[in-house]
Amino acid sequence: MTSTAFHIGGDLDVRRLGFGAMHLPTEPGPAREGSLAVARRAVELGVTLIDTAYMYSWGANEELLAEALHPYPDGLVVTTKVGVARTGSGEWTLDGRPEALRDQVEQALRRLRVERIELLQLHRIDPETPLADQVGTLRDLRTEGKIGRIGLSEVTVAELDEARKTVDIASVQNRYNVLDREHEPVLAACEAAGIAFLPWRPAAWGESGAKAEIAAVASELGATSTQVALAWLLGHSPVILPIPGTARVNHLEENLAAERLQLTPDHRARLDRLPDQA
């Protein structure tokens, strides 16, 4: 039986199937009202891990979640990411300078209306700033009580190992799904160390249905291709915490129902072989 819970950092209890807020519209109007409804429905359905980032609408996504959910119910973890900045032309760039990270964390605390972010992730490693300085700054913020646990995003095994020389790493957020397993070595390293692995693009953004094998398994189970892709992730490794995103309540409900989908050994073997057939 696939476990439905995980302890991030060994002590932060969350439901393994979370919610990614990136796709929620934040502009005023009916779409924003829909976003508020989706976030609230996620919590009603028992989601305890919601993922956002400063880069998602440059803080507006964090403010949206605070509007929808604050005061946060006990047990809800809203994790955010820092380390990406907006340029004067509206583009984005990496900025892992200690002063920049400190400022982004302070602003995230304000926007999320909290005194401590239980899981704070470095969105990308800035190659212009020593990694030890970047994670060292987050370590200092943890010591100050503003961060509970520290995570990384889009890292290699070597980068993960280097970061762990400076501070404990509680999570890694890399691109990963049933059709895209480039970061399988990183997943293996996380599994060996008990580090949570949060795959972004967990359902391949609709590409799952394009694969005849996934569609066939979905048909046999009376499920959707996305549900099959999520169920495969949950069974593939006990440290995987998928964070599928959507801006529609019905899709949210479908995604969370994947937790109850039972893949047979035959189904799993067929899905395991997919990258070799791509």
The two most distant CA atoms of the chain are separated, in Å, by 54
Check if 54 is active-site: no
Give rounded-to-5 percent helix, strand, coil for the chain.
45, 20, 40
Rounded Cα distance, 204 and 181, in Å: 11
Rounded Cα distance, 18 and 198, in Å: 9
Q: Which of 54, 56, 72, 176 is catalytic?
A: 56
Summary count for the chain: helices (H), strands (E): 11, 11
Rounded Cα distance, 32 and 45, in Å: 20
**Best CA proximity match to 13, nearest among 259, 241, 244:** 241
Q: Catalytic residues, which ones?
A: 56
